[in-house]
Amino acid sequence: MGIKTKQALVFVIFALAFAVLNSNAQSLVPALITFGDSVVDVGNNNYLPTIFKANHPPYGRDFTNHQATGRFCNGKLATDITAETLGFTSYPPAYLSPQASGKNLLIGANFASAASGYDENTAFLNHAISLSQQFQYFKEYKSKLEKVAGTKQAASTIGGALYILSAGSSDFLQNYYFNPYLNKIYTPDQYSSYLVGIFSNFVKELYGLGARRIGVTSLPPLGCLPAARTLFGFHQSGCVTNINTNAQQFNKKINAAATQLQQQLPGLKIAVFDIFKTLYDVVKSPANYGFKEATRGCCGTGTVETTVFLCNAKSPGTCSNASQYVFWDSVHPSEACNQVLANALILQGISLIG
């Protein structure tokens, strides 16, 4: 991270902290509402008949009380850290969990489901919660919130909440690249256009129910994930070049779509969080960020391990200090890397808070 970036981050964090201390509210936004995949899932998949779960050791070993909550990480997710920075003293609950009731709903909810995506078939193949079903749960949440807080307060919460959407990775890594049918009818570029069309419609639906502050993540450098290196081989850059190229094509399209949505929908604030550049920089220059290992995950051999398969309490070779690793398992960042990503989210998303 460059000196100017560090200075900007320090300034932003101090400004946010000052704003929290000098406001009557406990946080800068009334609620945090999250949709998407395993990068932001805080435990919804614990309640589904799917293999894509992280409710077992060593997941969560560095989290509060060393608890495996369902987060695909050794500790906090980037969204957890972002919530803390915004002034939240607890995390919005996984919507399918028993905690998602009563006053706990006042600070938002998390609808994300590991192995879900923009494409309905991605969730269907992986027994995850599709994005359309996540939206239906959000409508249900809105009704529950009205009963808890009253119609007027609920409307204020929905309108002032920060919405975060993280999807697309599973569409490529767990669907497109292994699906002969999709490969036959779509080029990667065409599939990106299809996914971004779904994204645009999703934002319009959220907007129709009152959402006005929406942050969406770009695709990360998928070709630099340890699992991708293992499954697809790597090139001179140390990453799978064509997969990264596909991710960049998708990112250009989603940025263009976000710009168009902001122009079309009055009062909408929308930001695309560029996690591709941030994570790519970390992978290429890990020492600059305090990491020693960027090519494999901490769990097991770090080359293919994720979920209960291979990344479990009996996985041989799991590292003792995950803070030295960019990746926790072969797909997901460590808590230390999530801190770097959260810093980027805060800088890039400051326009959503004002």
Give the residue numbers marked as catalytic: 38, 329, 332
Give Rg (Cα) of the chain.
19
CA distance 45 to 78: 18
Residue 14, judged by CB atoms within 10 A of its CB (0-12, 13-18, 19+), counts as exposed
Q: Give the closest residue to 332 by CA, choosing from 220, 210, 179.
A: 220
DSSP state of 49: S
**Tokens representing 68?**
């495996």
Q: Residue 65 — left, alpha, or beta (φ > 0 → left; ψ -120 to 50 → alpha)?
A: left
The residue whose two tokens read 């810093």 is 343
192 and 249 Cβ atoms separated by less than 8 Å = yes
Q: What DSSP letter does each residue of 278-329 carry, written as one string?
A: HHHHHHHSGGGGT-SEEEEESSTTSSS--STTT-STT-TT--S-GGGEEESS
Residue 225 burial by Cβ neighbours in a 10 Å radius (0-12, 13-18, 19+): buried
